[in-house]
Chains A and B, each alone.
Chain A
Amino acid sequence: DAGVTQSPTHLIKTRGQQVTLRCSPKSGHDTVSWYQQALGQGPQFIFQYYEEEERQRGNFPDRFSGHQFPNYSSELNVNALLLGDSALYLCASRKGLAADRNEQFFGPGTRLTVL
């Protein structure tokens, strides 16, 4: 059973560019959340998708947007990249919205470097 998978593993972009990161949830999971983990920091919650809608959002600007597809996979888009967007981007999936009943599983992340 494949766990949460993310692509690409590493990505290098320049300031002002746009980037799309992809996530496939663990089999049987339908809720996807995205986190940003800057170097030396803990992860920060970006947003959560369920039934193709954004359900919760953290303190991130509108440059960060997402999408969930009918097969539950998800994309994270970041526009107008800044140097400060350099980070490990983690995707996590769970079954349903009830965080108190079902644990979320994390993928290995995509390392984004903005030059």
Chain B
Amino acid sequence: AQSVTQLGSHVSVSEGALVLLRCNYSSSVPPYLFWYVQYPNQGLQLLLKYTSAATLVKGINGFEAEFKKSETSFHLTKPSAHMSDAAEYFCAVSVTYNTDKLIFGTGTRLQVFP
């Protein structure tokens, strides 16, 4: 069975600092991996996705994630945090790419301080 673990329910950074949100997955088959962002009182928005092509995936708003099979990780990074990045971030896994039936992690709330 597939699962996702997000380490750290809350992460705080200063504006301009590096953002690192951790995600580890468990899957018996090569997974497809996703990062979503959820702003207050809004639905989810897709940041980026890994579909077994390039291991370094670039997404919107300057975010990127690297798929590391040896570490079963798909951590999300951004070189310089902006106040507008404050939100809830979810990592998700799927065994097939062509499905909406994703397994989500419990989320990481990112706070950005001036």
Contact = CB atoms under 8 A, between A and B. Distances in A.
B92 A99 contact: no
A97 B96 CA distance: 13
A103 interface: yes
A-side interface mostly: loop
A109 B51 CA distance: 28
Nearest to B45: A106
A42 B98 contact: no
B-side interface mostly: loop
Given A42-B107, A45-B101, A100 B43 contact: no
B46 interface: yes
Interface size class of A (residues with CB under 8 A): 20 to 34
Contacts of A92: 43-44, 100
A106 B97 contact: no
A33 B102 CA distance: 12
Contacts of B41: 108
Interface of B: 4, 9, 41-46, 51, 90, 92, 97-102, 104-107
Interface of A: 4, 33, 40-45, 48, 56, 58, 90-92, 94, 97-100, 103-109
- List the 3 closest pairs (A to B, CB-CB), nearest first: A42-B104, A106-B43, A106-B44
